[in-house]
Amino acid sequence: MAIVAQTPDILGERQSGQDVRTQNVVACQAVANIVKSSLGPVGLDKMLVDDIGDVTITNDGATILKMLEVEHPAAKVLVELAELQDREVGDGTTSVVILAAELLKRANDLVRNKIHPTSIISGYRLAMREACKYVEEKLATKVEKLGKDSLVNCAKTSMSSKLIATDSDFFANLVVDAVQAVKTTNARGEVKYPVKSINILKAHGKSAKDSYLLNGYALNTGRAAQGMPIRVAPARIACLDFNLQKTKMQMGVQVLVTDPRELEKIREREADITKERIQKLLKAGANVVLTTKGIDDMSLKYFVESGAIAVRRVRKDDLRHVAKATGATVVTTFADMEGEETFDLSLLGHADEVIEERIADDDVILIKGTKNSSAVSLILRGANDYMLDEMDRALHDALCIVKRTLESNMVVAGGGAVEAALSVYLEYLATTLGSREQLAIAEFAESLLVIPKVLSVNAAKDATELVAKLQAYHHTAQTKADKQHLSSMGLDLSKGIVRNNLEAGVIEPAMSKVKIIQFATEAAITILRIDDMIKLVKDERETEED
């Protein structure tokens, strides 16, 4: 790119130096300002309408940014940042974007004051390392000290900013039960909680409080034919990924027939091939057949006669999860090495029972008592689609947070406590350094305060006063040995006071905070390093010659 920039007749625009930086910072600020008002327990929701008129109502940072069509390349970095946070931790997407934008803004001010970006970057990196170390050593508390309530409290804290905040007691217990139900131990002896084994089904009607946890994996489809049994126990499950319909010749295969009577034989053979396949399945002992493709009426007859349940058009993801939970193998073809078609008993999965139930207006297939890992399903009830979708997103965040808490076992106080403590600590750290990173670390410390500030602004409280009180508490906690318990002082946004959030049960996994700081710093550094932007324009002359 640089070589192109040196040629005298470069095609395109080139901006460099301070112009680009300011432009990038403004773009990132714009993105952060969109999600800013949705942070915290009193954050507001956004309504997003796409080009075909579909409406999404949400205050989940990652969802908002995913739905926006961001043109500016630097702002896209923030969108990817929110997605990364969503993938890694599951919650904290709004905080990470706000923090990254604030770090950038302050870095830009330093560059204007003639401090080289490289110094700022090394200062930010140092501050990030120190901050993460401080969280893990001084601010984090082991979950064992707080008991099972801490899991429920983590889930409640995660939900506090969402639509279901009013029923957070009820949903937090649901979430904790669901995550603990899918506990598995892998080959290395590590305990894992695969959130993917929790299937979330959305059903209209009733109130949100009527949602419940089902023991078993629920598929959002019914039996393929009414004549099939409603319940099969014990179930032997075959997972297929091909059509059980009348076999047709492949495209491009031609059959030349001289005798018209042969035609009928070809048709019969086509029908027989499918029949043989189904009989191989049934002979192996399968009494539940799930396929991602279709099953035609002629084939259904065989399943009905043998008293098996067949389900067609199962989602690929669902099929994979069922296969994993029951120990089945997803079969894409019956052909074996010799070219014969066989189906072996070992490919079947096992479950205690498979049963069809009616939930709201839909039939669902429940797979209960799976062999390998236990699978559970959350059945959500709610007034309309928007509400159900938002509940789904809120529960996904809460499930991820509980999983992270269980796997990492460390929690910190929420409500701006960590940010204020780090700000005070880094402020002091900056004064002990005699190098040029000092200013960058001081700005990093200031940037962290953006979280408690935004929280209190959203709650319509006096931000300046609350943040000042918070800093005073943390300063005392860090300077006086007997006042260390003050390090979990955070904001209570409903009353507009400062309180001990660890005791009040406003807690988050320490890992979530560490990742927010790491990701936000990395994103800010990435954008800060840019000092040249070249937009290339296609050369008209070349196209004419072509």
Tell me which residues are annotated as active site: 60, 93-94, 397
Residue 108, C-beta contacts closer than 8 angstroms, at least 6 positions apart: 21, 22, 25, 528
CA dihedral 161, 163, 164, 168 (to 10 degrees): 10
The closest alpha carbon to 152, from 143, 161, 162, belongs to 143
CA distance 85 to 495: 30
Residue 39, helix vs strand vs coil: coil
The count of C-alpha atoms lying within 13 angstroms of the C-alpha of 105, restricted to the half-sphere facing its C-beta, is 18
- 172 — phi, psi (to 5°)? -60, -40
The closest alpha carbon to 159, from 4, 6, 2, 40, belongs to 40
* Sign of the alpha-carbon torsion through 5, 9, 10, 13: positive
What one-character DSSP code corresponds to residue 498?
E
Name the token pair of 316.
């690929």
Interhelix angle for 417-432 vs 117-134, to 10°?
Answer: 120
Q: Which amino acid is at 460?
A: A
* Sign of the alpha-carbon torsion through 485, 490, 492, 496: positive
Angle formed at CA 276 by CA 274 and CA 278, multiple of 5 degrees = 70
Burial label for 247, CB within 10 Å (0-12, 13-18, 19+), is middle
The closest alpha carbon to 412, from 502, 504, 516, 520, belongs to 502
DSSP-assigned states of every residue in 295-359:
B-HHHHHHHHHHT-EEE-S--HHHHHHHHHHHT--EES--B-TTS-B---GGG-EEEEEEEEEEE
